[in-house]
């Protein structure tokens, strides 16, 4: 499993771990239009996350999102890694590497779907699964032009609509889970957080 998958494939754990519990009142399944409207309703967000890697290890940290096409995962100690997406690229900074960050095109990770400028989950062949268990709605999506890179499974609750977790499955079938805390939306998230070249200079100092 490559490093981009370990850090950006985010994914399935019991909903209890996500900080919410089943309501005694069954929630109506959210439509793809409702979810798209929610995702398009904010351009930036910040919050805590818990990540469960495919090998069972757990990391925590802070996520910063700034659409379009920017995200940053800062990991809490003792983890020393950093993931930055900006300028159409993803950079994985690993202190164990002596060759600099691994870099990949952003469009090679399914996470790019929810970072687009205009998110439309109703696009033909984008959504491959859309279910509800009465307490949450789960949507599985892929880039229809790059389905070979895997998919992202997102879990949403309603009243109000919130993204609670996602699972990214890579091209080899391995999964990583990211569970989101409460997201603070549309606050000040500086562009400099997504400057890969700056991070490379700082990383080498």
What is the CATH number for 186?
A: 2.50.20.10
Which residues of the chain are under the pLDDT cut of 50? 1-24
Identify the pLDDT of residue 59: 96
Identify the pLDDT of residue 25: 60
H-only helix segments in the chain: 3-8, 32-40, 196-204
Residues 6+ apart with CB under 8 A from 4: 90, 92, 102, 104, 108, 109
Q: Is the peptide bond prior to 14 cis by the omega test (within 30 degrees of 0)?
A: no
Identify the pLDDT of residue 27: 75
Identify the pLDDT of residue 84: 98
Token pair recorded at residue 175: 């999964």
Tally of domains in the chain: 1
Distance CA 46, CA 67 (A): 12
Centroid of chain to Cα 68: 13
Asked whether 157 and 73 are in contact (CB, 8 A), the reply is no
Identify the pLDDT of residue 14: 39
Range of the domain at 108: 3-15+24-204
SS3 91: strand
Identify the pLDDT of residue 203: 83
Asked whether 137 and 131 are in contact (CB, 8 A), the reply is yes
Distance CA 98, CA 94 (A): 9
Token pair recorded at residue 197: 């070249």
């Amino acid at each position: 499993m490559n490093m981009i998958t370990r850090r950006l494939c985010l994914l399935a754990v019991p909903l209890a771990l996500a900080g919410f519990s089943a309501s005694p009142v069954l929630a109506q399944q959210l439509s793809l239009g409702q979810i798209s409207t929610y995702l398009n309703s904010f351009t930036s967000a910040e919050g805590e996350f818990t990540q469960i890697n495919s090998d069972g290890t757990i990391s925590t940290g802070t996520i910063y999102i700034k659409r379009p096409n920017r995200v940053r995962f800062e990991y809490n100690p003792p983890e020393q890694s950093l993931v930055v997406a900006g300028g159409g690229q993803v950079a994985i900074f690993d202190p164990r590497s002596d060759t600099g960050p691994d870099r990949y095109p952003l469009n090679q990770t399914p996470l790019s779907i929810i970072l687009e400028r205009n998110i439309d989950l109703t696009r033909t062949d984008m959504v491959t699964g859309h279910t509800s268990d009465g307490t949450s709605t789960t949507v599985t999506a892929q880039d229809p032009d790059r389905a070979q890179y895997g998919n992202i499974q997102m879990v949403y609750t309603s009243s109000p609509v919130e993204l609670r977790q996602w699972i990214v499955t890579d091209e080899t079938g391995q999964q990583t889970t990211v569970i989101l805390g409460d997201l603070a939306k549309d606050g000040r998230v500086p562009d400099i957080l997504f400057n890969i070249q700056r991070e490379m200079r700082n990383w080498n100092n």
